[in-house]
């Protein structure tokens, strides 16, 4: 019960403190250590909650992911909202909603809640279609956001980037997350094997080396995490729309 209360409290606190008038979409991620054999129970509980009246108020979608390499815990939820205000509106009555409390209780019985991260979505390159994707997240410390964006603008215009068939997002880390990080890049793709093979070629190019040199003037990466999609809930087309 203590872990459940901590989970409920953090969601309310994180969104309440961050409910500023940003026009940017918001991404919230929640990390869990799911017990062996409990993945199906978590997916079923999430599916049940996704059919509730409360979930229908979500102006985005929820994704259940597993961490494959690195990461905190074994699984995470990623929830997209169209703005900080809509995120705050959605969460304002969660702790009093019986469907959400039942969902949170099921999560509590299936594993341990480890923490959450609040991101603002600053920019996307080759925006994703909203469906669940394999991903690689790079926490970063960025001192000049405008310069970092220009470096990625240049990279995204190259044939090498286009050959990856991937989407790229730049996120501002507002609360939680990797220690020392201010931002994160997220790469989304359909097939890790195909992506890695294309990346081997693209990362050897002059264009990539130029992008790295340019980015390093404005920030640095702090590692990476890889994961895969397990299930998606809600209208993923809403996520696609907000990330255009």
0.85 exceeded by pTM = yes
Distances (CA, A) of 164 to 53, 126, 161, 193: 39, 11, 6, 11
The fold of 122-225 is Alpha-Beta Plaits (3.30.70)
| Tens digit of each residue's pLDDT (9 = 90 or more) over 150-194 | 999 999 999 999 999 999 999 999 999 999 999 999 999 999 999
Low-confidence ranges of the chain (pLDDT < 50): 1, 13, 15-22
**Domains of the chain: which residue ranges?**
2-121+227-242, 122-225
| Tens digit of each residue's pLDDT (9 = 90 or more) over 77-102 | 999 999 999 988 988 889 899 999 99
CATH code, residues 2-121+227-242:
3.30.70.100
Residue 112 tokens, joined: 């341990």
């Amino acid at each position: 019960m203590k872990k459940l209360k901590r989970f409920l409290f953090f969601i309310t606190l994180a969104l309440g403190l961050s409910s500023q008038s940003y026009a940017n979409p918001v991404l919230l991620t929640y990390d869990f250590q799911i017990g062996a054999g409990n993945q199906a129970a978590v997916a079923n509980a999430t599916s049940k909650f996704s059919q509730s009246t409360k979930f229908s108020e979500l102006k985005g979608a929820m994704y259940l992911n597993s961490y494959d390499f690195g990461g905190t815990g074994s699984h995470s939820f990623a929830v997209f909202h169209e703005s900080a205000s809509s995120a705050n509106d959605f969460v304002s009555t969660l702790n009093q909603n019986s469907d959400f409390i039942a969902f949170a209780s099921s999560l509590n019985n299936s594993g341990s809640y480890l923490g959450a991260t609040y991101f603002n979505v600053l920019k996307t390159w080759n925006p994703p279609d909203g469906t669940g994707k394999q991903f690689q997240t790079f926490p970063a410390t960025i001192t000049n956001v405008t310069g970092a964006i220009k470096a990625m603008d240049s990279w995204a215009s190259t044939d090498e980037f286009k050959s990856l068939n991937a989407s790229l997002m730049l996120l501002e880390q507002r609360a939680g997350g990797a220690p020392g990080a201010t931002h994160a890049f997220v790469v989304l793709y359909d097939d890790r094997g195909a992506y890695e093979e294309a990346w081997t070629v693209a990362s050897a190019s002059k264009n990539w080396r130029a992008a790295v040199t340019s980015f390093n003037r404005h920030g640095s990466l702090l590692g990476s995490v890889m994961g895969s999609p397990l299930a998606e809930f809600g209208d993923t087309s809403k996520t696609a729309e907000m990330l255009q």
